[in-house]
Amino acid sequence: MIDHTHDAAVSSWVAGADDHADFPVQNLPLGVFSTSGSAPRIGTAIGDHVLDLSGVAELLRGKAAAAVAAIEGAQTLNALFALEHVARRDLRRAVFALLTNEVHAAHCQAALVPAAQCTMHLPLAVRDYTDFYAGIHHARNVGSLLRPDNPLLPNYRYIPVGYHGRASSIRVSGGEVRRPSGQLRAPDSEVPVVGQSRRLDYEVELGFWIGGRSDLGEPVPIDRAGSRIAGLCLLNDWSARDIQAWEYQPLGPFLAKNFGTTVSPWVVTAEALAPFRVAQPERPDGDPAPLPYLDDERDQQEGALAVRIDVSLRTQSMRNAVMEPMRLGRTAATNLYWTPAQMVAHHTVNGCDLAAGDLLGSGTISGAESDAYGSLMEMSRGGTQSITLPSGETRTFLEDGDEVVLSGTATKEGFRSIGLGECRATIAPAR
């Protein structure tokens, strides 16, 4: 629901917040941070600062009692996201009031920490992780490398295809991802060897953090499925293409994916995203209509997201030369063939339970053109065409020391744009 907290004309008393690219007061994303010598706690990003929500609990309690009870002393957002969305909405309104009314400035100052002094943590303890494959251009591009005559398999337009990922190796933005080793088989060889992956790739994705709870045996109907998405983040599903090529048949991704997944630290809530809901793009002529359990008129009208995502790369020598990362691609969430609600409805149609702390990846979000591709596999045409960087270096896949940065922005005319922050990690050499 769009309300006064989305009014683009409202400003915050926090210096710099109104002009901040990602975190004006219309955003108020939730995350977990710590400062030197202190335990992790829950905060919201406002401009270049983090407001410690425990530090202002007394000011919030009257208007958002349930939410305050779930975040006071908590080191993750799991308890908050287990509540009905009304609790998050009340919290948003109460925090918005604090940060827009100057009367509260003096009381809030002690709880306002410069973001540069904060260490960010995973926002939720990840209960389980599923990765979908809903970016149709990516599916077609990768499919055409493997099967030029038949890039999209017949199930693609019926099923939100996905697989169960690995929760234990999900890390928050800012760290390193170690180059994996595994079984590799050269195209001209019958037998594999074990060695370091030479075809290490990123995948540009959105992550959907689940809220509420549905029990085992209880499908979530499509008209309620959208309300189970509590918030959004950026997600990089690191992928070792050479390990993947040898292992993926017949059961799909395994060690090519589970060595690391990076997510952005701030959860942009479903409440903040209300103005940025857009219609799911029309299916091309000839595509089947979604089956009834995936088809909901309202979801088709407003179940997609007006979110743009950029991916940039910076090598070690670019860092040494103090060069900015080079943008490799700019894509949009409307390139997803399925809405998040359709993913939830499909995930639970067999009775699989979903609860707060579950994370769904969208699948790689590529656009139709090469400047909107979401992986190096696509940009380099399976490693056959190299990309030239401003340093003069070339890449087909990632080298040690390469830093990959995802950023994202939700934009709609008439509303203040809000950002997803950053999802960044650097490739460390294999052990």
Catalytic machinery residues: 138
Identity of the residue, 237 or 402, whose beta carbon is nearer to Ca ion in the bound complex: 237
Tokens of residue 115, six digits? 């973001």
**Residue 127 is inside which H or E element, if any?**
none
Identity of the residue, 47 or 165, whose beta carbon is nearer to Ca ion in the bound complex: 165
d(CA 221, CA 352) in angstroms, rounded, equals: 13
Q: How far is the CB of 165 from Ca ion (least distance, A)?
A: 8
Half-sphere exposure in the Cβ direction for 393 (13 Å, CA) = 18
Touching Ca ion, residues 236-295 (CB under 5 A): 237
Q: Which stretch binds Ca ion (CB under 5 A): 90-98, 130-138, 290-298, 396-404?
A: 130-138
Tokens of residue 187, six digits? 């195209």
Identity of the residue, 162 or 219, whose beta carbon is nearer to Ca ion in the bound complex: 162
- Who contacts 38 (Cβ-Cβ below 8 Å, separation ≥6)? none
Identity of the residue, 382 or 401, whose beta carbon is nearer to Ca ion in the bound complex: 382
**Start-to-end C-alpha separation, the chain:** 50
Q: How far is the CB of 353 from Ca ion (least distance, A)?
A: 23
Identity of the residue, 237 or 422, whose beta carbon is nearer to Ca ion in the bound complex: 237
Query: Does residue 203 interact with Ca ion by CB under 5 A?
Result: yes
Q: How far is the CB of 364 from Ca ion (least distance, A)?
A: 5
Give me the amino acid identity at 12.
S
3-state secondary structure of 115: helix
Q: How far is the CB of 215 from Ca ion (least distance, A)?
A: 28
Q: How far is the CB of 263 from Ca ion (least distance, A)?
A: 13
Query: Does residue 378 interact with Ca ion by CB under 5 A?
Result: no
Q: How far is the CB of 1 from Ca ion (least distance, A)?
A: 32
CB 125 within 8 A of CB 78: yes
Query: Does residue 299 interact with Ca ion by CB under 5 A?
Result: no
Identity of the residue, 203 or 299, whose beta carbon is nearer to Ca ion in the bound complex: 203
d(CA 408, CA 263) in angstroms, rounded, equals: 12
Query: Does residue 22 interact with Ca ion by CB under 5 A?
Result: no
Task: Give the DSSP letter string of 136-201.
Answer: HHHHHHHHHHH-TT--S-TTTTTS--EEE--STTEEETTSEEEPPEEEE--TT-SS-EEEE-S-EE
Query: Does residue 131 interact with Ca ion by CB under 5 A?
Result: yes
Dihedral sign, Cα of residue 310, residue 308, residue 410, residue 203: negative
Number of chain positions touching Ca ion (CB under 5 A): 3
Touching Ca ion, residues 217-246 (CB under 5 A): 237
Q: Which stretch binds Ca ion (CB under 5 A): 30-38, 196-204, 298-306, 396-404?
A: 196-204
Tokens of residue 114, six digits? 């410069």
Tokens of residue 81, six digits? 């996201």
Instruction: Report the residue number whose CB is nearest to Ca ion.
Output: 237
3-state secondary structure of 39: coil
Q: Which stretch binds Ca ion (CB under 5 A): 157-165, 203-211, 397-405, 418-426?
A: 203-211
CB 327 within 8 A of CB 271: no
Binding site for Ca ion (CB under 5 A): 131, 203, 237
